[in-house]
Structure 1
Amino acid sequence: MITNDNKLNNDIDSEGFNLKKTISIYVKQWKWFLVSILIFLFSAFIYLRYTTPEYAAYSKIMITSDSDGSSGAGAFKDLSIFVEKEEAAVEDEIQVIASRSFMQNIVKSLGLNVQYFTRGRIYESELYKSSPITIDFIATDSIISNTGYNFFIDITSETDFTYRVSEDDTPKKVVFGETIPTPFEGMIITPKSNVKNYIGKSIRVKLTPVEYVSAALKRKISIEPYSKSSKVLVISITDPVQSKAIEILDFLIEQYNISTLEKKNLKSINTAKLIDERVELIAEDLMSVDSSIVRFKTGNKITDVASEAGLFMSTSAQNEQQLDEAMTQMRLLNSVSESLNDDSFDAIPSNLGAGDPAISALSLKYNELIQRRNTLLEIGAGKKNQTVVQFEQSLNDIKEDLKNSVENSKKSFRIQLNSLENQSNRINSKITAVPGQQSKLRSIERKQGIKESIYLYLLQKREEAIISQTSTSPNLKVIDSAYAIGKPVFPDTKMVYIGAMFLGFLLPFGVIYVSDLLDTKIHNKEDLKRDINNITILGEIPRIKTNKVLVERNDRSILSESFRILRTNFDYIKRSRKVKEYNNVVFVTSTINSEGKSFFSMNMALTLANTNKKVLLIGADIRNPKLLMGLDNKKKDDLAQVGLTEYLIDKSITTKESINTYDINGNKLDVLLSGKVPPNPAELLMSDRMKPLFDEVSAQYDYVIVDTAPAMLVTDTLLFSQYAGHTIYLTRADYTEKRILNFAKELHAENKLNGMMLVVNDVKQSNFGYGAKYGYYGAKKKKGFFRKWT
C-alpha cells in the first residue's frame, strides 16, 4: 500500500528493457565515439601510407584427361582397374601443381631466394629483374640454397661501391669484380648497364633459404576449381611486383606442362616395356600349350577327336549289322541242322548257304528231290515204289552232305561271330574313351585360346604404346595466360577505412557496455528508485565542477536550484506526515562515509535560512566532524570553543553558550559544532542531556538540521534517532554500491530511522533527472557544435 511518504515517487518500477534509455547511455558518450573513430581513421591512413601495396595475377587452365590415349595409360583405358574419377584426378593435379618440389624449382629457376630492394620515401621497393648489379657466389648452389644473409651496398660510381652488413656498420669501399669475404665463402658483385641510374642510392640484398621462400610462395599461390566438379582451375598469386607475379604463374604453368609431358612419356615407355615383358612370357606359355596339344594327340594317336569319334560310331554300326547277320545265319543253320537230324523229308530254306554255293546247290537239289518224291506219292506211287525209294536214297545222301556242310558253315560262323564281338568290344572301348580325350583336349585348347587372345591383345597395345610415344599431348590447356589487373588488391583502402570506422565505434561501445555490465553503483534517481521503491526520494544534487560548494543568498546556480527543489519537496512531505514531536528536527545520515552528509547539511540549512527561517545546524558526528568546511575562512578565535561534546560532558554549559551564529555567504545561521572528539562517542550520545537539548532547540527554531555519523559504520545515529522527526538518507552517485542499499531497506523496514527520505548526491549533469534534457530555467544554454559555426 502506498503511503503519503512516497507520493513523490512513481508506482513500483515494473518496466523491463528500455531501448531509449539504453541508447542514451551511448549517446551521452558521443565524444568518445568521435575521438575513437578519428584515431582509428588516422591509424588506417598511416597504415595505408606505409604499407607496401600488393598486386594480384591470375591464370586459368583446364586439366585434360588421358581418355584420348595420348599417354601410356590410354593403352589400358578399356580395363576398369585403370579408370579413375575425373574429380579425383583434378584434386590430385591441384596437389601436384602446389607441390613443394614445384615451388622449389620456381624459386631456384627464377632466383627468388636472392632479392634486391631500394628504399623510397615511404617504403622499400623490390628491384625484380631490374637490379643494377649481379652477384656471383663462390659457394656451391646447395650452400647458397640454405643460406640466410642480408647486406647493404651504396653505389658510389660505375666502378666501385661501399659494402656493409648492417645499416649501423662502417661502410667498406669495394671495387666491382673484387671478391667480398662472407660467412659462405665469398661473392663477387659486378655492375649492369643501368648501374649509373643508381649512383648515390642504397640497395639492400637479402638471401633467404630456398625452403623458406618456397613455403611462403606455396602459401601465396591459390589454386581453386572454377566451379564444383569443373576441370578448369583458376590460379592466382599476390606480390608487390606485378611482373614477378605474372612470371611466377607463367613459369609454374610451363613447369607443370613439361612435367606432365615427361610423366606421360615415361608412362608410355614403361607401358611399352611392360607389354614387351608380358608378350615374351605369354609367347612362352603359348608355345608350352601348343606342345601339350601335340604330345596329347601323339600319345593318343589322334588327329581330330570329333572326326575319329564319328568314324568309330560308323564302324561300330557296321560291325553290329554284320554281327546280327551272322547270328541270324547261325540260327538258320541250327534250325536246318535240327531238320536234317529228323527222319522225315521236309523242305529246307533255299538261302541257307549265306554265300556258300555248295550248301545252296545241295539245298536246291534236296528241295527239288523232295518235291518230285512228294509228287509221285501224290499220284499214287507207294513208299516202296522204286523211284520213290531212289529218291529217298538220294535225299539221304544229300542230307548227309548237307549235315556236313552245315556243320562246317556253323564252325565258320562261330569264328566270324567271335571276331565281330572282339571288334565290337574294341570299338566300344575307343568310343568310351572319346569324351575324356575330348574334355582334356578342350581344356588344353581353352588355355591355348586364352593365351593366344592375350598375346594378340598385348601385341596390339604394344603398337599403340609405341605410337603414343610420338604423339604425346600436354595434360593441360591454357585458357588465360597470366595477367594482372593493375590495381593493388592489398591493402583494400575501402575495407581498411570501413574496418577502422567499425573498430573505432566498437572500442568505446565495448568499453561502455562492459563498464555498464560490471557497474554496481547508482548514478541517479532512476537507479535508486529501481532498487528502493518504497522510500520517498526527495531529489538529486548535481555534481559541482567549481570550488563553490555552498549556496549563496539569492543564488541562481544549479546547485542552489537543486536544494530549493529539495526544500520544496521536504516541506510537502513534512506537511503530509503530521509528526507530533520534533516535526522540525531533520537528521542527515548515510550508509558509509564520504557520501556528502556534511555538505548536504550545510547547504540545506543555508537554503532554509534563505527563507528567513530560524535554522540551527548541529554537528552530531562527533567522531569525524566535517561542518567546519563552511567555516574554514573564519578566524580560529571567531570559532566557538564549545561544541556538542563539551555540552554533553559539562552540565554547567548551557545550550545558549554552545550555539553560535555565523554569517555564511550572506545568510545568518546558528551552528552547534561537534566540539572535540571524545574517547567514548557512543556512550556520550546516550547522555541524559540529549533530550533537553532537542526539546529546547525544537521549540526555539523553525528547522533543526542534525549532521550525524554513517548509520552502517557506527551505531551513533541510531542511539538518539528517536529525537528525529524526519531523516534524510544520503546516497552518492558513482560511489554508493547498490548492494549496501539493503541496509537502508532494513532500517526503513524496522523503523529504526523516523521518516526516511532519500537524496542522491553528486549526480553528473548528463544523468541528472529532468535537467539532463531541458536544463534549469534561467541557466545559460550551451550552443551546439554546429551552432557555434553558424
Structure 2
Amino acid sequence: MITNQNQSFVPENSQGFNLKKTLALYTKKWFWFVLSAALCFSIAFIYLRYEIPAYQSIANIMLISEKDQSSPGAVFNDISMFSQNADAQVEDEILVLKSRGVIESVVKKLHLNLQYFVEGTVLTTELYNNAPIAINFIASDSIINATNFNFHIDITSDVGFDYRINKDDNPKHFTFGETIPTAFGGMIITPKTESKKNLSGTNLNIQMTSVNYMTESLRNNIFVYQSGKSSKVLTISLVDPLPNKAIDIINTLIMEYDSYSSKVKNIRAKNTAEFIDSRVELIASDLVNVDDSIVRFKTGNKITDVSSEAGQFLSSSAQNEQSLDELRTQMRILDYMNESLNSSAGFEPIPANLGIGDPAISALAARYSELLSNRERLLRSAGEKNLVVVELDQSLNSIRQSLRQNINNATKSLNIRMGSLETQSDRINSKIFSVPGQERRLRSIERKQGIKESLYLYLLQKREEAAITLTATSPNLKIVDTAYTFGAPVSPNSRMIYIGALFIGLFLPFSIIYVGDLLDTKIHNKEDLDQIIKDMPVLGELPRLKGKELNSLVARNDRSLLSESFRIIRTNFDFVRRGRHVQAYDNVIFITSTINGEGKSFFSINMALTLANTDKRVLLIGADIRNPQTYLGLANQKKKQISKTGLTEYLTDNSIAVDEAIETYTISDNKIDVLLSGKVPPNPAELLMSERMKPLFDHVSNKYDYVIVDTAPSMLVTDTLLISQYAGHTVYVTRADYTEKSLLNFAKDLHDKNKLNGMMLVVNDVNQANFGYGARYGYYGAKKKSFFNPFSKS
C-alpha cells in the first residue's frame, strides 16, 4: 500500500525467513538448472560411451589351519609358545597372500609388465594372450624387469613394420626378426604363427613397465578379505577391463601362494629336523653321563637296590634286638639264681624250670630241688644229725657249688654273645641311617635320567614326524571356488553416474546462486528497499530494458511495461503528495540519486512525459550542470531546433529571462517544456547558489502544473543540497543490481536530517524476474508466457 512520508511499504513477510522468496530465488533461474543438468547428463553420456567397462573376478579359498596334525607346523603345536590365535593366523595369511614376493611372482609368470594395446580412433584396447607379435629381448631379465619403456609399431606388411618411440616421431622401418637398438639393449620382434595373416594396417602400442611398479599397482587393485567373521574362507577380488586376465591373475596368485606356503613349510620342516637332530645328539650325550653317574654311585656304595637292602637291614636289626632281649632275660634269671644261692644260710629252695636254656644248670637245679625235698621229709622223722640227712646236706652243698660255677660260666657266655650282637646292631643301624641320603642322591640322579630319557624319546618322535613332512607336505589351502567373473560390468556404474550427473547438474547452479546471494551487496527490487529503509515511501519499480528498448521513452497511449510502471509511480506520487500538504513548491519535484549511473536523467525525462500524458503543463529542468544528460531525450530533435540557451546561460547572464531559456519540444507525441542544462561551467556549485535561482523556481512553479528537476548525484557533489529548499518533493532514484545496499545509509541520513524535502524512493532497471506486483505478469502489454506452453497466445 501507499503511505505518507512517515511510513513505508513494508510487506508482511519482510521480516525473518521467507520460504517463498527463497524458493523464488532459484525457481526464477530454472533455465540454468535445466542447462546445467543437460550439460552434466551429456558429459556423463559421453563418458559412458567411451569408458572401457571393467569386470570383477573373484575366487574363494579356505585356509588349512596350522593346528591340523598333517601340517608341518603341527610338530610343535603341543607347546604353548608355538600356538596361534585363529583370527591372527588368517590375518597373517592375508598379508602373505598380498605380499610383494607372491605378487611379483605372478607378474613375472604372466609377463604383466609387458602390455600390448591396439590403437583405435577413440579407444585403445589391450590385447591379452592374443597379441599378433612376440618380442624377444637381448638384455638380461633383471634389466628388462627394471625398465620403463613405451613405443609404437605400425605393421605395414607381412614382413615389415614402422617403429616409433613417441607417437609424433618420424617412423623407422624394420623387418620382422631384425634387431631394434634401444637404450636398455636390443630387441627382436617377430609375428606369431597363428596371427601371421592380415597383420597389415595394425597399429600397436607396447608398454614396458618395471616389475616393481606393476607389482605395487597389482597389490593396490587386489582385495583379499574374510568371507565371514572368524571364517577361514578368503575371498580374492580383482576388477579389470579384461575378465580373462583377471581370472588368470587370481588363479596364478592362488598357485603362487600355495607354492610359497609349501616352500616355507619345507624350509620350516627342514630347519625343525636339523634342530631336533642337534638336540637329540646333545640329550643322548647327557643321558649317557647320567647313566654313568648311577653306575658309579651304586658301585661306590656297593648296592644294587637301595630299597630292598634297606628292608634287609631293618629285618636284621629287629632280629638282633630280639636276640639281645632274650640274652638279657637269661642274664637276669641267672643273676636271680645266683643271688638266691648266695643269700640263704641254710638250704633254701631255688627257682627251677625258668627256661634258661643251659641243660646243666637246669639238671642241677632239678636235682637240688629233689634232694632238698627229700631232706625236708627226713627232718620231719629224724634229726639233723641223722646220717642220711648229713649225707643229703653234703650232696646239696656239692650241687650248690656246681650251680654257682655253672651260673658264672653261663653269665660269661651270655656277656660274650650280647657284646657280639650289640656290635652287629651298631653296624646295621649305621647302614640304616645312611639309606635316606643314598636314596635321595639316587632319586636325584634317576630323576635327571627320566627327564633326559622322556625328552630324548619325544624328540625322536618329532624327528620322525618332521621327516614325514619333508616327503609329504600337506596343502596350505583348499580352493572353494576357482576364479570367475560376473556377467555385468561393475564399472562404470551408469545408474550412479547419471544420478551423480543430475546431482552435480543441480548443485552447481544452486551453489553459484547461493554463494552469489551470500556475497550480494546490491539491491534488486522494491522489497530490498522496504527491508532496508522502512520510513521512506517507495513509489515503484522500473523494468530493465534490453536491446532496442534501451533508448525507449514513454509515448502517448503507450501500453508497454515501462509506461505502466511510470503510471504506477505517478499514481503513488499523487497519493503521497496529497498526504503531505506542502505549501511552497508543491509541484516542484527534484530527481536525484546517490551516485552517477543510477538512471535519474532517464527517470526525469520519462516522468515528465508521463505527467504530460495527462495534458498537464510540465517543465523539465536539467539542473545537473556538471554532467548534462537531459539532452539525450531530445536525440530525435533536429540540432537547429535544440536551444543553445540553458540553465547555465540563464544564471550567468542577467539579461536572459526565464521564458527565453525554456523551449517547447514534442517527444513521443507529448509536448513538454524543457530548460536544458546549458554549457558546463567552471564553478557549478557557486553558480547554483546564484540569487537568480529563487525567481526561477517561483516563476516556473506558478506557471506549470509540474516541474521536474534533474539534479546531480547527492553523494558525489553538493549541487542538489544547495538548491534543495526549492523542492517540494524529492524522488531518490536507485538502480537494481547496481546500487550498493551500504549506499542507502546515505539516503537514510539525508531523510533523517531533512536535507532533502519529501524524499521518495524509486527502483530503476529491475529485472522482470524480480519485478513486483501485477506488472510482472504482463497485464498490460505482452502477457507472460507459460513455461509449459511457450507459444500460448496473449
For this structure pair, what is the TM-score category when the shorter chain's length is used for normalisation? over 0.9
* 1:772–1:320 CA distance, 2 compared to 1 (3 A): farther
Kindly indicate whether the alpha-carbon contact (under 8 Å) linking 1:72 and 1:271 is maintained by their aligned counterparts in 2: no
Deviations 1:626-657 (A, max 9, x none): 22221244455543344333444444443333
* 1:169–1:681 CA distance, 2 compared to 1 (3 A): closer
Deviations 1:463-493 (A, max 9, x none): 3333344443322222222222344333233
What does residue range 285-304 of structure 1 map to in structure 2 within 5 Å? 285-304=286-305
Residue aligning to 1:766: 769
Q: Which amino acid aligns with 1:767?
A: N
Task: Measure the CA separation in 2 of the matches of 1:583 and 1:412.
Answer: 177
Q: Which moves more between the two structures, 506-515 or 642-651?
A: 642-651
Task: Measure the CA separation in 2 of the matches of 1:78 and 1:277.
Answer: 20
* 1:724 maps onto 2:727 in alignment: yes
* 1:725–1:772 CA distance, 2 compared to 1 (3 A): closer
Kindly indicate whether the alpha-carbon contact (under 8 Å) linking 1:71 and 1:267 is maintained by their aligned counterparts in 2: no
Residue aligning to 2:169: 169
Residue aligning to 1:101: 101
Task: Measure the CA separation in 1 of the matches of 2:309 and 2:712.
Answer: 139
Q: Which amino acid aligns with 2:144?
A: I
What does residue range 414-433 of structure 1 map to in structure 2 within 5 Å? 414-433=415-434
Kindly indicate whether the alpha-carbon contact (under 8 Å) linking 1:13 and 1:529 is maintained by their aligned counterparts in 2: no
Q: Which amino acid aligns with 1:606?
A: L
Q: Which amino acid aligns with 1:656?
A: D
Kindly indicate whether the alpha-carbon contact (under 8 Å) linking 2:7 and 2:534 is maintained by their aligned counterparts in 1: no
Kindly indicate whether the alpha-carbon contact (under 8 Å) linking 1:71 and 1:265 is maintained by their aligned counterparts in 2: no
Task: Measure the CA separation in 1 of the matches of 2:251 and 2:792.
Answer: 60
Kindly indicate whether the alpha-carbon contact (under 8 Å) linking 1:69 and 1:468 is maintained by their aligned counterparts in 2: no
The partner residue of 1:363 within 354, 362, 365 is 365
Deviations 1:494-521 (A, max 9, x none): 3333322322222212211111111111
Residue aligning to 1:618: 621
Kindly indicate whether the alpha-carbon contact (under 8 Å) linking 1:58 and 1:237 is maintained by their aligned counterparts in 2: yes
Q: Which amino acid aligns with 2:552?
A: V
* 1:315 maps onto 2:316 in alignment: yes
* 1:710 maps onto 2:721 in alignment: no
Q: Which amino acid aligns with 1:519?
A: D
Q: Which amino acid aligns with 2:247?
A: I
Residue aligning to 2:630: 627
* 1:550 maps onto 2:553 in alignment: yes
Residue aligning to 2:185: 185
Kindly indicate whether the alpha-carbon contact (under 8 Å) linking 2:777 and 2:784 is maintained by their aligned counterparts in 1: no
SS in 2 for 1:136: strand
Task: Measure the CA separation in 1 of the matches of 2:590 and 2:291.
Answer: 131
Deviations 1:733-757 (A, max 9, x none): 1011112222222222233322221
Kindly report the root-mean-square deviation, in angstroms, between the aligned alpha carbons of the 2 structures.
2.6
Deviations 1:76-113 (A, max 9, x none): 33332222122222212211121111222122111222
* 1:319–1:583 CA distance, 2 compared to 1 (3 A): same
SS in 2 for 1:460: helix
Residue aligning to 1:200: 201
* 1:70 maps onto 2:70 in alignment: yes
Kindly indicate whether the alpha-carbon contact (under 8 Å) linking 1:8 and 1:538 is maintained by their aligned counterparts in 2: no
* 1:369–1:661 CA distance, 2 compared to 1 (3 A): same
Task: Measure the CA separation in 1 of the matches of 2:523 and 2:632.
Answer: 26
Q: Which amino acid aligns with 2:322?
A: Q
* 1:373–1:570 CA distance, 2 compared to 1 (3 A): same
Kindly indicate whether the alpha-carbon contact (under 8 Å) linking 1:12 and 1:533 is maintained by their aligned counterparts in 2: no
Kindly indicate whether the alpha-carbon contact (under 8 Å) linking 2:8 and 2:535 is maintained by their aligned counterparts in 1: no
* 1:13–1:35 CA distance, 2 compared to 1 (3 A): closer
Kindly indicate whether the alpha-carbon contact (under 8 Å) linking 2:333 and 2:356 is maintained by their aligned counterparts in 1: no
Q: Which moves more between the two structures, 677-686 or 123-132?
A: 677-686
* 1:14–1:761 CA distance, 2 compared to 1 (3 A): closer
Residue aligning to 1:226: 227
Task: Measure the CA separation in 2 of the matches of 1:54 and 1:9.
Answer: 64
* 1:228–1:352 CA distance, 2 compared to 1 (3 A): closer
Task: Measure the CA separation in 1 of the matches of 2:785 and 2:201.
Answer: 61
The partner residue of 1:677 within 680, 684, 705 is 680
TM-aligned CA deviation for residue 787 of structure 1: 4.5
Kindly indicate whether the alpha-carbon contact (under 8 Å) linking 1:609 and 1:615 is maintained by their aligned counterparts in 2: yes
Kindly indicate whether the alpha-carbon contact (under 8 Å) linking 1:340 and 1:399 is maintained by their aligned counterparts in 2: yes
SS in 1 for 2:343: coil
Kindly indicate whether the alpha-carbon contact (under 8 Å) linking 2:68 and 2:74 is maintained by their aligned counterparts in 1: yes
Residue aligning to 1:328: 329
TM-aligned CA deviation for residue 771 of structure 1: 4.5
Kindly indicate whether the alpha-carbon contact (under 8 Å) linking 2:620 and 2:707 is maintained by their aligned counterparts in 1: yes
Kindly indicate whether the alpha-carbon contact (under 8 Å) linking 1:70 and 1:471 is maintained by their aligned counterparts in 2: no
* 1:25–1:3 CA distance, 2 compared to 1 (3 A): closer
Residue aligning to 1:597: 600
Kindly indicate whether the alpha-carbon contact (under 8 Å) linking 2:561 and 2:780 is maintained by their aligned counterparts in 1: no
Task: Measure the CA separation in 2 of the matches of 1:30 and 1:107.
Answer: 54
Q: Which moves more between the two structures, 384-393 or 491-500?
A: 384-393
The partner residue of 2:646 within 643, 648, 673 is 643
Residue aligning to 1:463: 464
TM-aligned CA deviation for residue 389 of structure 1: 4.2
The partner residue of 1:751 within 742, 751, 754 is 754
* 1:642–1:322 CA distance, 2 compared to 1 (3 A): same
Q: Which moves more between the two structures, 384-393 or 357-366?
A: 384-393
* 1:304–1:351 CA distance, 2 compared to 1 (3 A): farther
Kindly indicate whether the alpha-carbon contact (under 8 Å) linking 1:72 and 1:269 is maintained by their aligned counterparts in 2: no
SS in 2 for 1:167: coil
Deviations 1:646-682 (A, max 9, x none): 4444444433333332222222222233333344433
How many residues align? The count is: 788
* 1:739–1:789 CA distance, 2 compared to 1 (3 A): closer
TM-aligned CA deviation for residue 705 of structure 1: 1.8
Task: Measure the CA separation in 1 of the matches of 2:332 and 2:691.
Answer: 176
TM-aligned CA deviation for residue 278 of structure 1: 2.8
SS in 2 for 1:236: strand
Residue aligning to 1:350: 352
* 1:495 maps onto 2:496 in alignment: yes
Task: Measure the CA separation in 2 of the matches of 1:44 and 1:389.
Answer: 165
Q: Which amino acid aligns with 2:398?
A: D
* 1:668 maps onto 2:671 in alignment: yes
Kindly indicate whether the alpha-carbon contact (under 8 Å) linking 2:273 and 2:466 is maintained by their aligned counterparts in 1: yes
Deviations 1:539-576 (A, max 9, x none): 11111112333211221111111000000001011112
Deviations 1:370-396 (A, max 9, x none): 33334444x165555544444444433
Runs of 5+ unmatched residues, structure 2? none
SS in 2 for 1:547: helix
The partner residue of 2:779 within 770, 776, 780 is 776
Q: Which moves more between the two structures, 28-37 or 411-420?
A: 411-420
Deviations 1:156-203 (A, max 9, x none): 333333333333333333222222222222122222221222123222
Task: Measure the CA separation in 1 of the matches of 2:791 and 2:390.
Answer: 187
Task: Measure the CA separation in 1 of the matches of 2:419 and 2:575.
Answer: 160
* 1:579–1:12 CA distance, 2 compared to 1 (3 A): farther
Q: Which amino acid aligns with 2:731?
A: I
Task: Measure the CA separation in 2 of the matches of 1:564 and 1:618.
Answer: 21
* 1:540–1:397 CA distance, 2 compared to 1 (3 A): same
Q: Which amino acid aligns with 2:298?
A: K
TM-aligned CA deviation for residue 74 of structure 1: 1.9
What TM-score comes out, normalization by structure 2 length?
0.93
* 1:413 maps onto 2:414 in alignment: yes
Task: Measure the CA separation in 1 of the matches of 2:632 and 2:14.
Answer: 41
Task: Measure the CA separation in 2 of the matches of 1:5 and 1:370.
Answer: 180
Residue aligning to 1:659: 662
Deviations 1:548-607 (A, max 9, x none): 332112211111110000000010111122222222222222222211111111111111
TM-aligned CA deviation for residue 249 of structure 1: 1.6
TM-aligned CA deviation for residue 524 of structure 1: 0.8
Runs of 5+ unmatched residues, structure 1? none
Q: Which moves more between the two structures, 628-637 or 534-543?
A: 628-637
Residue aligning to 1:522: 523
Task: Measure the CA separation in 1 of the matches of 2:14 and 2:509.
Answer: 30
Task: Measure the CA separation in 1 of the matches of 2:114 and 2:104.
Answer: 13
Task: Measure the CA separation in 1 of the matches of 2:392 and 2:745.
Answer: 173
Residue aligning to 1:479: 480
* 1:348–1:672 CA distance, 2 compared to 1 (3 A): farther
Kindly indicate whether the alpha-carbon contact (under 8 Å) linking 2:8 and 2:536 is maintained by their aligned counterparts in 1: no
Kindly indicate whether the alpha-carbon contact (under 8 Å) linking 1:37 and 1:503 is maintained by their aligned counterparts in 2: yes
